[in-house]
Amino acid sequence: MKSFNIPEYYRSRIISPLKEFRRKRDKLKRDFTPTVLDFGPVRFFIARHFGFCYGVENAIEIAYKAIAENPGKRIFLLSEMIHNPDVNRDLQDRGVQFIMETSGRQLIPWEQIGPDDVVVIPAFGTTLETQRKLAGIGVGIEQYDTTCPFVEKVWNKAHQIGQKNYTVVVHGKPSHEETRATFSHSKESAPTVIVKDMAQARRLATYLTGESPTEWFYEEFKGQFSEGFSPETDLQRIGVVNQTTMLASDTQGIADYLKQVMIRQYNLLPEEVDSRFANTRDTLCYATNDNQDSTYALLDHPADFALVAGGYNSSNTSHLVELCEEKLPTYFIETEQKILSRELIRHFDLQTKQEVVTENFLPGRQPVTILLTCGASCPDAVVEGILMKIVSFFENTRTVEEVMDAIEQTYA
């Protein structure tokens, strides 16, 4: 796999070598068992796959390259490079300005952008409407377009099935940058509708079968369908693609459900299914799959609690949190700074969308066992910071060198 040139301060003396040990031992990535870092009174089960993926490292490399190659020029990002506060803050500290919020709200008017400015496209990609706006200004975007290749793969699949007269159903969060971009590209080739979850997929099915009146559709899916969309005609042939950071099992569940609805609606034989439902299984991102499968394997091990690191607006990270919360107490934190003391931790509640403080999160008995993972946009250095902050609360722990020597002997 390609090696990227990213700032050294995003790497870790613990986490980065650990990943390399595991990669050499398991080049085909068939072993999803976690790595155990045993410090004595506290031990960590660390997910097999986590942290920066191919698309994120590619985006970071290009963004810092844009800064290095354009001294004296104004450099803009369309929105957050990735959903990680440390990375975005560092780029801003280097003078990079964001044109939009992640929601799409304009921060800098287009009138203030000129043809001599540098504009970096974030890893999520962008809409065709924005591309045309930049082209009209005279800004070239090809050189610093960091769109993840796996996002582009979804766009290509949507285009392919659109050319075969399928309607595209996008499983994603309607307000997320990636989903907005995928919707924009898809609707150029095919009627397109977004479903955010299985509940909306079930509601969509009632329009497919004619159980719900057509006029309800336009209110129920407001802002989630392409111009001129007709439930009566555009739901007769469909294919499902996804925001790449969604829970893979959720996307597959939605696709399987809508496929069965089609089979029942049209009394399809197995060899006839493709006439109504397109095969789009290959749009699921490998990194999202690997991270989620690694989390499932992580949860096979008993522990006192789980720590999940990442940006609070990170979609792929939030899904890892949801998986962990089903099994044990889980704390979703951005950095080690959220660990206030041995007794207090400030963490993000997915239900209330607010930070809360939990007392006595570390049990009094020993050894304490912690499951640890992070999202695809979280630097290794952040994971190390969290790990070492926890270790610092315990006495008579093994040194990092001792722990890493044990790992090297295990995975050499």
Q: Where are the alpha helices (DSSP H) in 171-239?
A: 177-186, 198-208, 214-220, 231-234
Tokens 């040990």 correspond to 21
**Are 100 and 79 a contacting pair, CB within 8 Å?**
yes
Distances (CA, A) of 14 to 26, 149, 291: 18, 29, 19
Residue 332 to residue 306: CA distance in whole angstroms:
9
Q: What is the DSSP string of 359-391?
A: E--S-SSSSEEEEEEE-TT--HHHHHHHHHHHH
Residue 24 to residue 410: CA distance in whole angstroms:
12
Residue 229 to residue 227: CA distance in whole angstroms:
6
359-385 in b/e form (b: 16+ CB < 10 A) is eebbeeeeebbbbbbbbbbbbbbbbbb
Residue 148 to residue 202: CA distance in whole angstroms:
30
Q: What is the DSSP string of 281-314?
A: GGGS-HHHHHHHHHHHHHTTS--SEEEEES-TT-
Active site residue 61: no
Q: Which amino acid is at 290?
A: D
* 346: β partners: 357
Tokens 């009209």 correspond to 136
Residue in 177, 178, 334, 384 annotated catalytic: 178
Residue 350 to residue 312: CA distance in whole angstroms:
9
Residue 400 CA, chain-centre distance (Å), reads 30
Let me know if 155 is exposed, middle or buried by CB neighbors in 10 A (0-12, 13-18, 19+). Answer: buried
Catalytic residues: 178
